[in-house]
Amino acid sequence: MTQALVFYPTALIIMVFSIIAILSKKIVYSLICAILVFMASGVIFYVLGAEYNAVIQLTIYGLAVPVLLAMAIMFTDVKNEKRAIITGARRYIILTSVVLIIMALVYLVAIGVNITPEHTFSPANTNLNHFRIFDAITDGFFSTYLAAFELFSLLLLAVVAGVSDNAK
């Protein structure tokens, strides 16, 4: 029950503010809505029992990425923005997307009134923080996924070196 109390408002925030972010004329409003969406996604991760992912989501997408985007907005001229003109094939793509979203919402309500398939995992057996996520992820980083972890570190190092070199 607690999971539902958190999930539905958070999902509503994500859906509404993501659409506002796309449709907003001013890029700063888009950024503010995007921050809300990213933070609400962190809450969703927490509800899913992945608190480590939630912390990473909140720190990277909730703080670091908006700072980068805000810097980019400040460095560029936002006064000369043109309004997005929806013409031609784009109109049909948007229409299809809207129809799909409405169908998804209808399906969401339908499964909400217990039309779920059988043999699904019961949420009653799902407890938050039940799986000792921190231990599992740290074990994974330093055993099974060691090569990927090292490769990713090299990628980050290359990015930092490249940006530093170009910033001169």
Partner 1 sequence: MLSNITIYHYLLLAFILFMTGLCGVVVSKNVIKILISIEFMLTGVNINFTAFGLYCKNLAFDGYIFALFCIAIGAVELAIALYIFYAMYREKQTSEIEDYGDV
Q: Is 30 in the site for partner 1 (CB under 8 A)?
A: yes
Q: In the set 113, 119, 165, 168, which binds partner 1 (CB under 8 A)?
A: 113
Q: Is 60 in the site for partner 1 (CB under 8 A)?
A: yes
| Distance of closest approach, residue 83 Cβ to partner 1, in angstroms | 9
Q: Is 58 in the site for partner 1 (CB under 8 A)?
A: no
| Distance of closest approach, residue 168 Cβ to partner 1, in angstroms | 13
The whole-angstrom separation of Cα 94 and Cα 89 is 9
In the region spanning residues 74 to 93, those forming contacts with partner 1, defined by CB under 8 A, are 75-78, 80-82, 84-86, 90, 93
Q: In the set 9, 107, 129, 154, which binds partner 1 (CB under 8 A)?
A: 107
| Distance of closest approach, residue 102 Cβ to partner 1, in angstroms | 10
Q: Is 141 in the site for partner 1 (CB under 8 A)?
A: yes
Q: Is 154 in the site for partner 1 (CB under 8 A)?
A: no
For residues 100 and 168, which CB has a smaller minimum distance to partner 1 in the complex? 100
| Distance of closest approach, residue 8 Cβ to partner 1, in angstroms | 8
For residues 166 and 168, which CB has a smaller minimum distance to partner 1 in the complex? 166
CA 102 to chain centroid: 20
For residues 80 and 168, which CB has a smaller minimum distance to partner 1 in the complex? 80
Please give the single-letter amino acid code of residue 163: V
Burial of 164 (0-12, 13-18, 19+ CB in 10 A): exposed
Which residues have CB under 8 Å from 7's CB, separation 6+? Answer: 44, 47
Q: In the set 62, 88, 118, 133, which binds partner 1 (CB under 8 A)?
A: 133
